[in-house]
């Protein structure tokens, strides 16, 4: 799937920063596609600056939106941001740039952007929204039209001897679940193929949302059905289009059962995991039981891969 971000930037008057896109001619919050090895927080800062001229600080993740487009999938991170500098300016991607009343959004605006803005305005802290969106007939027709527009623009670029538009990279994703037992301990499992303790989880299937991965992999490895309660951290592999999502979770049903990948289970208090625990999972578990209330975004060193 491809990753992208949107930044919801408001001013002291309660107005929201919007652009008029050069491709669809619709109004939308600024944002764009993520490059390989780029943190979502860095991407939203870069995209807002490129499209509007403003320098912003992402305060918190308010929404995570997964869209299955049929032949491809997209995952967008939506952040509440505050302005830290810069001056409003249009760009090649933004025909108009400015602040608009949040209670009187302009038209035309795609439903998905209006929904993200409304959910972003209503988010006052705590877990972000995570939403799976389907491709309706209107979106399908719009994407076909955009594909035609981009091909025509690439043809013009070739005629001028300019490089064509580069597609955003396709990201690999995985997810883990941090399950507590009410005593301050976290469930770990020991793999049957290597002498390592890890959190329940693993890689995503093609076009599978990260939260679906966390529930599925946890059930396959432990026998438990879990309810995800928060997205506590996202780790991006350095220089790669690969990200791991950490969810806190509560057990709903089932009993711990070893299987093809699992040798044994144990409960460890954060900071008391054995030496042969996967180092990044130790940090992820600490994120999950912290009380920051904000999703953490960090790089995962390549030499610490699972």
Q: Tell me what pLDDT residue 306 has.
A: 44
List the chain pLDDT tens, one digit each, 306 residues: 999 999 999 999 989 999 999 988 999 999 999 999 999 999 999 999 999 999 999 999 999 999 987 778 999 999 999 999 999 999 999 999 999 999 999 999 988 899 999 999 999 999 999 999 876 666 665 555 556 655 766 566 677 777 766 678 999 999 999 999 988 899 999 988 888 999 999 999 989 999 999 999 999 999 999 999 999 999 999 999 999 999 999 999 999 998 778 889 999 998 999 999 999 999 999 989 887 789 999 998 765 444
**CATH for 248:** 3.90.79.10
Give me the residue label for tokens 């944002």. 31
Same domain for 183 and 290, yes or no, is yes
**What is the C-alpha separation between 171 and 173, in angstroms, rounded?**
6
Range of the domain at 52: 2-134
Q: Tell me what pLDDT residue 42 has.
A: 98
Same domain for 218 and 105, yes or no, is no
What's phi and psi for 142, nearest 5 deg?
A: -65, -40
Same domain for 109 and 205, yes or no, is no
Pairing mode of beta strands 31-33, 262-268? unpaired
pTM to 2 decimal places: 0.91
Same domain for 186 and 259, yes or no, is yes
Those residues whose C-beta lies under 8 Å from the C-beta of residue 21, and which sit 6 or more positions away, are: 27, 28, 93, 94, 95
Same domain for 23 and 91, yes or no, is yes
Give me the residue label for tokens 């699992």. 262
The torsion angle over the Cα atoms of residues 95, 117, 130 and 35, rounded to 10 degrees, is 20
Comparing C-alpha atoms, which of 65, 184, 198, 53 is closest to residue 129? 65
The last residue of a domain, from among 134, 155, 188 = 134
Same domain for 51 and 98, yes or no, is yes
279 domain-assigned: yes
268 domain-assigned: yes
Domain count for the chain: 2
Same domain for 128 and 178, yes or no, is no
154 domain-assigned: no
153 domain-assigned: no
Q: Tell me what pLDDT residue 160 has.
A: 78
Burial per residue of 36-70, b for 16 or more beta-carbon CB atoms within 10 angstroms, e otherwise: bbbbbbbbbbebbbebbbbebbbeebbbbbbbbbe
């Amino acid at each position: 799937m491809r990753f992208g971000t949107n930044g919801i930037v408001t001013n002291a008057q309660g107005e929201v920063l919007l652009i008029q896109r050069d491709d669809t001619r619709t109004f939308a919050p600024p944002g764009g596609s993520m490059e390989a090895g780029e943190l979502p927080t860095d991407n939203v800062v870069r995209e807002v600056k490129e499209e509007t001229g403003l320098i912003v600080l992402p305060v918190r993740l308010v929404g995570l939106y997964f869209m299955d487009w049929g032949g491809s999938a997209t995952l967008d991170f939506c952040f509440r941001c505050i302005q830290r500098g810069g001056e409003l300016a249009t760009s090649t991607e933004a025909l108009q740039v400015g602040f608009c009343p949040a209670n009187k959004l302009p038209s035309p605006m795609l439903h998905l952007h209006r929904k993200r803005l409304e959910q972003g305005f209503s988010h006052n802290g705590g877990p972000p929204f995570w939403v799976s969106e389907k491709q309706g007939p209107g979106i399908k027709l719009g994407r076909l039209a955009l594909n035609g527009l981009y091909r025509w623009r690439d043809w013009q670029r070739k005629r001028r001897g300019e490089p064509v538009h580069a597609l955003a990279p396709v990201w690999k994703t995985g997810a883990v679940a941090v399950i507590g037992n009410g005593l301050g301990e976290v469930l770990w499992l020991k793999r049957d193929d290597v002498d390592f303790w890890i959190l329940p989880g693993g890689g995503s299937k093609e076009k599978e949302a990260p939260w679906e991965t966390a529930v599925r992999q946890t059930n396959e490895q432990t026998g438990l059905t879990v309810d995800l309660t928060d997205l506590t951290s996202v780790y991006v592999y350095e220089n790669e289009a690969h990200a791991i999502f950490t969810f806190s979770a509560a057990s709903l049903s089932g009993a711990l059962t070893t299987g093809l990948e699992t040798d044994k289970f144990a409960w460890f208090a954060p900071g008391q995991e054995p030496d042969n625990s996967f180092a990044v999972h130790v940090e992820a578990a600490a994120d999950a039981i912290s009380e920051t209330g904000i999703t953490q975004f960090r790089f995962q060193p390549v030499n610490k891969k699972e």
